[in-house]
Every structure is written in C-alpha cells, then in structure tokens.
Chain A
Amino acid sequence: MRKQPNDIDLQIMWNRLVAVVEEQAQTLLRTAFSSIVREAGDLSAGIFDARGRMLAQAVTGTPGHVNSMAESVKHFIAHFGLPNMKPGDAYITNDPWLGTGHLNDFVITTPCFYRGRLIGLFCCTSHLMDIGGIGFGPDGTDVFMEGLYIPFLKLLDAGRVNETLMAMIRANTRQPIDTVGDVYSLAACNDVGCTRLVEMMEEFELETLDLLAEHICAKSRQAVLAEIAGLPKGCWSNSMTTDGFDGPITLRATTTIKPRRYPRRLCRYRCAGAPGHQCPARLHYGLHRVRAWLHRRQ
C-alpha cells in the first residue's frame, strides 16, 4: 500500500480474502470426485497466516470441517517447519486427531509464496468416499480397522508429486480413480487460492499479510468476546437419547457462563464408551464452536 491502510482499506482486503477462499472451495466442489463433496459440500477451505491462525474461511463448507481444519494447520507448521517449506510444496494427512476427525477426511496444506517469501498457507479438507477398511462406524474396534492412515507427508515436493504415496493410496482403496482424483482436486484448489492471493498482493501493493492478519484477529476476538458477554449468565443442561447401536445412547451437555469469565470450553459432553461410538476431541472442538454459535442464534 502506498499509505498506511485505514479500517475501510482493511475491511475491503478482508472481504477480498473471503472471496479468494470461496473460489478455493468452489474449485474443490467443481473438481471433486467424491459425491458427498460435490453434492453436499462436505469440505472446508481457508487461508492461514504463518502462525497458523485462520484469516478467512469459505462460506461453502461445514463447521465441523472448518474448525478442525483451523487447528490442523498449526500441526502442519509444527511438523514440517516454516523454514523448510518451498514453493510448489503441499502436505497431506488424514490423522483423525490432528486432522479433521476420521480417516475419510483428507487435509492438504499448501504454503503460498510471493516474491520468494512465504506469505500464508492455504488449507482444505474434503470427505473421500472410500479409504479402505470398514470406515468410521460402530463395527470398528480400533482406528486401524477403519482404513488407511496417512501420517503427515509431503504430497508435493517443490512441484513433484509423491508417486510412492499416490501408489499406496491407489492400492488401499476400493475406488482408486476417485480417491486419487480427489487428492489432485484438493491440491488444485489450494493452488487456485494461492494464484488469487498473489494477484491480490499485487493489486493492493502488499508485501505481507501481517497487518491484515492482526486486524482480522483483533476484530474477530473483539466481536466474539462481545457476543459472549451478551449471553445470559447461568448454567444450562440438556440431554438427547438416540437409538444407538447395541442400545440407546444418551448424550448430555452442560453449558456454564459466568460473569466476566469466558469459559475456555462452552460445553461438556458425556459420551458412551463403546468403541466406534467415540468422537475425536478435534471434532468436539469444532462442534463446541457450532454449539456456541447456535446458542447465540437462539
């Protein structure tokens, strides 16, 4: 920018980031092989700063994916290290605890460079139709039964596809064409996001996203704290009984809001202990935020 950006400039650039990640999500939707992605939008897409803070998320997508993806980028940064990241790299995992909840969800993170410098990371996730095993369900007694587990790996190394990994994926799914196609689709949508971000950097004459990132995080934090402060103080409980598998399962949740004390977690769950009925903490975390949002809307 020729001058220090004011609040209006920052708001325009913030909206532009939302448009960039929406195009990222639409690319994923348009190129997906997985029917649950292209028909139901079971995906998420977003842009992150070098500290792993999510700056914008696509409107298209599901809250469970968005919030778990938001945490996963920090794990990608911790695992690969920013100084080791190169243009053309892309990293992948389907770790249920560090990614987005079950093995069918592939998460791909792509560092984005401008004038030789890392300016941010694009991340996306989508639900693939088959990753071997019996899938996520009550019949599985452990995660190894559920399918192929992909630890943090390089999918692209400076533009070169990891053919060994692709061969492993192809050999471990009942739908090799679709599964490999979806991996390409995930990588492609991050590339589209990066291209659009670079155009934005040129148009607004930005060198880094640092100032915009601070603005977005400060304003978002302020807005969330104001929303929470406006909630009625007190303690609420509810429970819901579902059919379950071997027998009915009762889910209970309690929310406590105390004056001037912002709870780190808004809800506490009590879940059944049988294998395959569990939900990774990562997804709980995503759903906590959904609950908070729903609560506010009510």
Chain B
Amino acid sequence: MPPDAGVGSALGFLAAPAAYELVRSRHMLLSEFDADVADAIVEGLVQDAGAHCGAAAGERPIAVRRSAFMRYAGQGHEIMVALPDRRLLAADVVTFRQAFEREYGRLFARHIPDAEIEIMSWMVLASTESEPPARLAAAPPRAPPPPAGERSIFDARLGRRQVVAVFDRRALLPGTRLEGPALIVEEGTSTYISPSFEVAVDAGEALILSARSKLD
C-alpha cells in the first residue's frame, strides 16, 4: 500500500502507456475464410491505430496486438481470440480454429467439436510498452515505534475479539517491520495486519504485506 494511494493513482495515469484501439465489424464464416480480405482489414487497422498511437508515443517504440471476436455461428456472444503477428494466410483457417477452441475451452470448459465458427469483428491495439519503475534500495532495518494505543478487533479465525496494538502510520519509518495482528491508522484509512501477515515499510514508505508461513 503506497502512501497517499489516491495521489499515486493520479500520477500513475500520467505514466500509463500511450495506446489506441480500433475495432472494425466484418462478418466472415471461418468455412469461407478469405485470407486476403482478412489481411487487408487487419493491416488497415494496424496502419490507422499505429498512426493515432504514434501521435502520443513520441520516441517510444510501439507494439501492436491483433485479435478477432469470434463465436460459434448461432451464438449471441463472442470471445476475443489473439491473431498471429504477421500477414494472414489461407492456412490460418486451421490456426484460427485452434486458437478459438483453445480460448473457448479455457473460458467455458468444453468446446463444440466441428461446429461452424464465425468472425464478427477485428481489433488492433497499438501501444507503447510500460516499463516497471526502478526498484528502491532496501531500507536498513529499524525497530518499530511504541504503539499509539490499542483496539479490540474481532478475529474471524479465532472466533473472538482480541486486543490489537494500534500504530500511527506517520511514525512508521522505512525499514520498520511488524508482525500481525496490528492496526496501522492514518487520516484517510486504516490497515489491518491480520495474524497471518507481516508488514514491512519500504524506502518509499509503502506498506508491504506478506503472508507468513502457514499458522496452526
């Protein structure tokens, strides 16, 4: 949990990748798959989405992901299926079926053997890659401050209330480590560290909660 998470969320928006997504409707039965028509649609989308994305991307490289919305002919809902990142060929009638059945099986447990498949629309997402931020240096260990108070909290695992130490978040400096149960309070929220967790404050003052090894 980063400090002032609401502000972090707004900053994160600024750091989000530049992206543009385009969808085009064009019905095509897989049994009547026309690789040239399909490739022209997808390539057109790649050009258009890439141009829009490039306007915001600056010098950053752009990655393109192609997909199609497909269903069994007669159904009312489609699923998104990833398409190969290359020119579409007549032989893709087989790869499309395999990709559809794999995704359908993953979502719905069981595909329908040999049933007609239809493509409803085509989609291209052009996006810059978002780099994870650099890792913070480890904070040197520090002893926890004295609790600011205590509070009675119901522990569902024990099935009864227990008294838990309360800590002021501002007093928890980087490197501090606490074992649950503990309650960390600040103006905007409270963080309950259950007995199954421990918390460490990192160099950026974020609370890092980790599950402790299994308790009995």
Contacts and interface: CB of A to CB of B under 8 A. Distances in A.
Contacts of B112: 180-181, 184
Interface in A109-124: none
B115 A181 contact: yes
Contacts of B72: 33, 181
B86 interface: no
Contact of A188 (B74, B108, B156, B159): B108
B110 A2 contact: no
B73 A177 contact: yes
B109 A38 contact: no
A29 to B, nearest CB: 8
A181 B74 contact: yes
B31 interface: no
Contact of A2 (B115, B116, B216): B216
Contacts of B110: 184, 187-188, 191
Interface in B184-216: 216
Contacts, number: 53
B108 A31 contact: yes
A177 B74 contact: yes
Interface of B is mostly: loop
Interface string B93-123: 0000000000000011110100110000000
Interface in B68-108: 72-77, 107-108
Contacts of A184: 110, 112
B158 to A, nearest CB: 9
Contacts of A185: 108
A118 B210 CA distance: 36
A67 B108 CA distance: 25
Given A9-B156, A181-B115, A38 B108 contact: no
Contacts of A27: 107-109
Interface residues of B, number: 16
A69 to B, nearest CB: 20
Interface string B134-167: 0000000000000000000000100100000000
A52 B179 CA distance: 46
Nearest to A27: B108
Contact of B77 (A31, A180, A192): A31
Interface in A158-193: 177-178, 180-181, 184-185, 187-189, 191-192
A38 B76 contact: yes
Given A31-B108, A177-B115, A6 B159 contact: yes
B74 A178 contact: yes
Nearest to B105: A188
Contacts of A250: none
Nearest to B159: A6
Nearest to A179: B74
B109 A195 contact: yes
A185 B111 CA distance: 9
A32 interface: yes
A30 to B, nearest CB: 5
B3 to A, nearest CB: 31
Contacts of B156: 6, 8-9
Contacts of A203: none
A192 B115 contact: no
Nearest to A156: B110
B18 to A, nearest CB: 32
Interface in A180-225: 180-181, 184-185, 187-189, 191-192, 195
A278 interface: no
A187 B109 CA distance: 9
Interface centre among B73, B108, B216 (most CB of A within 10 A): B108
Nearest to A33: B74
Contact of B75 (A2, A9, A33, A188): A33
Nearest to A30: B77
22 contacts: A2-B216, A9-B156, A27-B109, A29-B77, A30-B107, A30-B108, A32-B76, A33-B74, A38-B75, A38-B77, A177-B73, A177-B74, A177-B115, A180-B112, A180-B115, A181-B72, A181-B74, A185-B108, A187-B110, A188-B110, A191-B110, A192-B108
Interface of A: 2, 6, 8-9, 27, 29-33, 35, 38-39, 177-178, 180-181, 184-185, 187-189, 191-192, 195
Interface of B: 72-77, 107-110, 112, 115-116, 156, 159, 216
Closest 7 CB pairs of A and B: A191-B109, A188-B110, A38-B76, A33-B74, A6-B159, A184-B112, A192-B109
Given A35-B76, A181-B74, 13 more contacts: A8-B156, A27-B108, A27-B109, A29-B77, A31-B75, A33-B74, A38-B75, A178-B74, A185-B108, A188-B110, A189-B108, A189-B109, A191-B110
